Every structure is written in C-alpha cells, then in structure tokens.
Amino acid sequence: MWTLVGRGWGCARTLARWATGAALGPAPTFGAAPESWPTCRVYSSAEFKEKLDMSRFPVENIRNFSIVAHVDHGKSTLADRLLELTGTIDKTKNNKQVLDKLQVERERGITVKAQTASLFHNCEGKQYLLNLIDTPGHVDFSYEVSRSLSACQGVLLVVDANEGIQAQTVANFFLAFEAQLSVIPVINKIDLKNADPERVENQIEKVFDIPSDECIKISAKLGTNVESVLQAVIERIPPPKVHRKNPLRALVFDSTFDQYRGVIANVALFDGVVSKGDKIVSAHTQKTYEVSEVGVLNPNEQPTHKLYAGQVGYLIAGMKNVTEAQIGDTLYLHKQPVEPLPGFKSAKPMVFAGMYPVDQSEYNNLKSAIEKLTLNDSSVTVHRDSSLALGAGWRLGFLGLLHMEVFNQRLEQEYNASVILTTPTVPYKAVLSSSKLIKEYREKEITIINPAQFPDKSKVTEYLEPVVLGTIITPDEYTGKIMMLCEARRAVQKNMIFIDQNRVMLKYLFPLNEIVVDFYDSLKSLSSGYASFDYEDAGYQTAELVKMDILLNGNTVEELVTVVHKDKAHSIGKAICERLKDSLPRQLFEIAIQAAIGSKIIARETVKAYRKNVLAKCYGGDITRKMKLLKRQAEGKKKLRKIGNVEVPKDAFIKVLKTQSSK
C-alpha cells in the first residue's frame, strides 16, 4: 500500500498519474506532507504514518470547528466535500455520509452521533490542522451538539437555501452563541430550482443579527464554492487558547467501546502533551492508566507519537469497564494534578420507557448490551425495574422519542437484542404534605418516573409536570391550524414573530407529556411537512394530574397504570380499554375491562364469554325447561368469574404497551 504525498495537490496528482503506469500494487491514497519533506516523492503508508509528527502544527495553525444545522440541511454532505477538498479521502461518487458510520444513520439518513475528523490543509504556504466535528441535527440529540461545541472555537451554521431558517437552526445558533464561539453562516443547496439565497440572507440578518455579506453561498452536493468555506474557517475562527508547557489537561468529550481494545476516548487537549507510555489519572475515578495509543481521526484512526494542546484526537489507555470513561472527565498526568475542567451539564432525560427482554433467559446478554451502548450514548439513564407480567428489566430515560427509537434500533442491529419497549412517560414531581412522609422519602419534592409509584392525592399538596418552551417555524398559511393544535395540547402562546413575508416563528409553553408521542407527526401533517419544531426544557409547573388504573374483573394491572391530566382521562382511558379488548383472548367467562381513577370508573369495555348452546337438547316443551337450563348456566359463569384469573398474554401486553406505529 502506498500513500502519495505532496505540498500542493497538483504535485500529488502528477505522482498519481505517474503511479498508474508503475507497478506499485494497490491503488494509492492521498496525504498531506509536512513542511520539511521533499515537495514530490512517493512514500509507503507505513512510512507516512511514522512521519506524521503532530508537533509540526503550532497552536496558531490549528482550527477546531463543528458543523451544525437543522435536520437534512446538508451537514454531512458538506463534511464529505471538506474531506475531499483537503485530500483526507479520495474523491469518488460513493462518498455519501462518510462520517455517518452507524447502520441506523445510513438507513434513516440522519446523523445520530457526532463524528470527528482531522484535516490537513495547505493555505498560502502554511500547513493547517483543521479538526472538524460533524454533529446531529435533530432536537433529541442536542446534547451531542453541546458536548461537541466544548471542543471547538467556532461553528459552521448551515442553512438550506430552499427551506430557510428552521427551529433547530435557531436552537443551534444560541448553543454556539452561549459558548461564545465564532459563527460562520453557510447557505447550502443554492443549486436547487426553488433556492432563494437572498431571502435566507435576510432571515439570518434579522434573526441572528449577522450581516448578510458574511454568509457563504455553496452547493455541498456539487462542491460549488466549498473552497471559500475552508478559507473562512482559517480566517474567521480563532486558534485555541492553550498552553503546551503546562501540565496535561485533556477533556473527554466522547467515547466508543471496542470489545478488543476497551474504551476509546475522544479527547480535546487544553494544556500539555500526551504520548504513548504516559501514566494518566482520571479526575472522576482517581484511577491510573497507562496510555497504549494516541492518535487523530483522519477520518479513520491514525496513531501518532504524541498529541499536543489545542489538538483533538483519541486515546486508548486500557479502560475496560464501561463506567471508567466518564463523558466530561478530565485526564491529567500521574503526580501532576490539575484543576478539573468544568465538563458538561448532565443530560436531562425527557422521556422514560420500560425495557424488558422478550425471553428472561436473555436478561444477562441484554444487560451487557445496554451497558456497552450507554457508554457510546451517555445521555441515556438506566434504572433497574421489574414487572409481574414482563419479568426483570429496566426503566430507561431518553432525550426524546426519536432518541428512544434509535437506541432500540441500535440494540437490535449492533447486539442482536430483541426487547419489549413500553409506552413512553415523562418524569413528574409531587410535593409531599406531611413531615412523616418527608422523613420517609428524605426529601419534600419527589420525582416519579414509574407511573405505578405515583402517590395518592391525600399524601401530596400538589403535583408538578415538566414543561418545555417549543419553537415552531411555519409558512403563515398554516398558522391558524397550528394554533388550534397547540391549544388542544394545553399549550400557552408566548411569542409570535414574522421572520419574513411568508414565515412565522411561534413560541409556546407546552406540557411535555402532550408533545412527546405524536405532536411532531400531527404538526407535519397539518403543515404539509413545511413546519419545523424544536423545544428546550422550561422546568415544572403545577398541574391537575390523576393516576389511572386499568382493571380486569376488578383486579389492577400494574403494568398498565398511567398518569394523565384530569381533563383528558376519559378519552385516554377509553382508548386503552378498546385496545385491550382487541388484544385479550376470550375466556369461558365474561371479562370486564375498566379504566378507573381511585374508586370512580371512567371507561369500560367487555370481552364476551364463550357460550355453550345448552338449549340444543330442547326440542320443544314448556319455556320453563329452557329458563331452568339458562339460569343454571348463568350461575356457573358467575361462579367461574369469581375464581377464574385473567392471564394477560405477553403479546397482548406488547400490543397495548408499545408506542403505536400509527402515531
């Protein structure tokens, strides 16, 4: 295997053409040459890797930046073009979502996990190290974005020239603004038939107060004007403020798990130097490790001798346990302690769901799979749980419904695990009324993530439900319908701004449980797919909540207990009863399915009993003979109903509990 290296890509391409006729074996790859190398020469890959010396990149020649945008505005496509332009990957027609390595990302066409790549770029005779982080665009993965921004000094804010500013564009801008990063607006997809870059420029100027002449107009798909993006990164994004002579301080901003090498930690170095053989200490666990490998992602792992302050790379140090690589942890050299970096705000789960193995014999395998996957996705919280019907399992906390679906899909694809996932719920709070209860729970305000543990009204002074501040951006012709939808979801309007002549930005305060399951789908249906939605946590507010039990012949089914708002209890109870009626097998006796709040029944469905025709032997005679047989049968059914237990089959639970695909 050979790598063709040259300063100035014309030189490298000349070598490539020459090499086509030479017997050099497999196809060559491209690489960037350090300043001290001869301008044109063919090196073997092993020699190239050995020669890659990260000390050749002074701090002033390093740029760390992220690409942020709304879903489907072209982040990953722009990343592909930047990789091609700097010679990091070969330019081929197959370069689509190069940094999206997960199967779920390629299937859904979305970025789920932030990915890092180090690019070597020659500009005006200087060799620059550009560390690129491609981030997700969906609201559920904003935690990935905020973590990525901690390793950067600037962002490329990509906006679709056809769609304009969307809800997540606004959210990502303010994430970067709060982190005091340089923002470079990039208007993408100018090649589209209906593209209107001037309109989008005006939107950016009005909403973000960024002058329109700072916007860069490109087509990432065709590669039009992408060179000016690289130029802007070098000119407008400042180099990192770091000190290489200080003791090592490295921030762990992401990690992956490899079953052969253990934990691979993605690190950003704020001070000092780290090299193979160094003994490092984790500020979080105080454990000492020996570094077995350091390197950069280019975009695949490329080992180097050392990593220096200001650079972003990976580090392997024999961490075998999934709890050892804490996201936000600070690593420092043994016997050279430093003050830990601030780290990150811990992710706040917005949605909770029960997860159980389909077969209890798979419990340990599923436990191992969840542990490994939560290392790669630290925003998932895990609590052990058990159920009479479904056995031992867990209650997992997610950042949103898409996050939950992607986690489940990754379990199936990467670990071949099959699970039962219950209906998602949100975390409620209850303020306890008596000092005895406060002493028992050791706090006045308790958080309830499992509806079965919802306390009775007599024990609390008030219930609190989580609320979020939602941002909806829509064409103005759909405004009326969307307002009606929001009011039906108990939302309170906070603001309404016209971005331009045709587009409106609405801000609403939503109860989280009203939007968590099917709000986004309803919004897309009402607006013909044009409206976009983003939300952020807004704390808790007082609410009239009730615990709704589902009874089968008078016995409560714990797995089906739900917490609902008082005004919506009847409609939700009726829907669950109807679903259960369709799922339960008929018995020899009648089954009453009831939804109850306390002792009050609010909805009922009945599964009719199998009936034997006891009148078949009556060929005539007096009516009293028939009445006598029917009465005896009714008494038998009544007795059977008292002693008969209704066993809910597991597949019936799955039908009732799991998120409805129609939603």
> What residues are designated binding site for GTP?
69-76, 134-138, 188-191
Identity at 556, one-letter amino acid code = T
Q: What is the DSSP string of 571-613?
A: HHHHHHHHHHHHHSPP-SS-EEEEEEETTEEEEEEEEPPP---
Identity at 443, one-letter amino acid code = E
Binding region: 69-76, 134-138, 188-191
Q: DSSP E strands: which ranges in 51-143?
A: 62-69, 115-123, 126-134
Q: Cβ distance 449 to 490 under 8 Å? A: no
End-to-end CA distance of the chain: 52
Distance CA 267, CA 114 (A): 13
* CA-based nearest residue to 272, from 299, 251, 293: 251
Q: What is the distance of C-alpha 405 from the center of its chain?
A: 9
* 522 phi-psi bin (left φ>0, alpha ψ -120 to 50, beta other): alpha
Distance CA 229, CA 214 (A): 11
Identify the bridge partners of residue 420 per DSSP, sorted by sequence position: 356
Distance CA 310, CA 292 (A): 21
Q: For residue 464, count CB atoms less than 10 angstroms from its CB and return exposed for 0-12, middle for 13-18, buried for 19 or more.
A: buried
Q: DSSP E strands: which ranges in 311-418?
A: 312-316, 330-333, 351-357, 381-387, 391-398
Give backbone dihedrals phi and psi of 98, rounded to 5 degrees, phi first. Answer: -60, -40
Half-sphere exposure of residue 189: CA atoms within 13 angstroms, side-chain side:
19
* 483 phi-psi bin (left φ>0, alpha ψ -120 to 50, beta other): alpha
Identify the bridge partners of residue 543 per DSSP, sorted by sequence position: 463
Identity at 235, one-letter amino acid code = E
How many C-beta neighbours within 10 Å does residue 521 have?
12
Is-cis flag, bond preceding 455, omega within 30? no
Helix (H, G, I), strand (E, B) or coil at 411: helix
Helix (H, G, I), strand (E, B) or coil at 160: strand
Two tokens, residue 553: 């012949």
Angle at the Cα of 21 (from 19 to 23), degrees rounded to 5? 75
Q: Cβ distance 74 to 162 under 8 Å? A: no
Distance CA 325, CA 314 (A): 12
Half-sphere exposure of residue 433: CA atoms within 13 angstroms, side-chain side:
9
Two tokens, residue 520: 């986004």
Calculated CA dihedral for residues 135, 136, 139, 142, nearest 10 degrees: -30
Identity at 213, one-letter amino acid code = D
Helix (H, G, I), strand (E, B) or coil at 282: strand
Identity at 272, one-letter amino acid code = G
Distance CA 79, CA 226 (A): 10
